[in-house]
C-alpha cells in the first residue's frame, strides 16, 4: 500500500505521520498537463470566481475548482 507523502513532497507533519508506518521511500514525481484545452477553458469560464477576469492561482487545485 502506498500512502503518499505530504503536500509538495516536503517533510511536513503529514509526511512524518505516514513515514512511521514503514522505512521504505519511493521517488516523487508529478505531471501537470491539460489534455483537452477546450474543455478546461469551458470549465474555467463557468467558475464564478474566474468570470470577473481575475487570475486565481493557489498552486494546489486547478482554477476551475476554486469557488
pTM score, two decimals? 0.47
Are 24 and 53 in the same domain? no
The beta-strand segments (E) located in 1-51 are none
Are 25 and 48 in the same domain? no
The residues of the chain scoring below 50 in pLDDT are none
Residue 38 has phi, psi (to 5 degrees) of -65, -45
Are 12 and 41 in the same domain? no
Are 63 and 36 in the same domain? yes
Range of the domain at 63: 31-67
Q: Give the integer Cα–Cα distance in Å for 38 and 34.
A: 10
pLDDT confidence of residue 18: 83
pLDDT confidence of residue 2: 63
Q: Give the integer Cα–Cα distance in Å for 7 and 55.
A: 23
Number of domains the chain is built from: 2
pLDDT confidence of residue 16: 85
Task: Specify burial of residue 32 (Cβ count, 10 A radius: 0-12, 13-18, 19+).
Answer: exposed
Who's near 61: CB < 8 A, 6+ residues apart? Answer: none
pLDDT confidence of residue 62: 72
Amino acid at each position: 500500500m502506498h500512502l503518499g507523502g505530504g503536500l509538495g513532497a516536503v517533510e511536513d507533519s503529514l509526511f512524518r505521520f505516514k513515514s512511521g508506518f514503514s522505512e521504505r521511500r519511493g521517488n516523487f514525481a508529478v505531471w501537470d498537463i491539460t489534455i483537452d484545452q477546450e474543455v478546461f477553458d469551458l470549465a474555467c469560464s463557468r467558475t464564478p470566481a474566474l468570470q470577473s477576469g481575475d487570475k486565481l492561482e493557489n498552486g494546489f487545485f486547478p482554477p476551475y475548482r476554486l469557488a
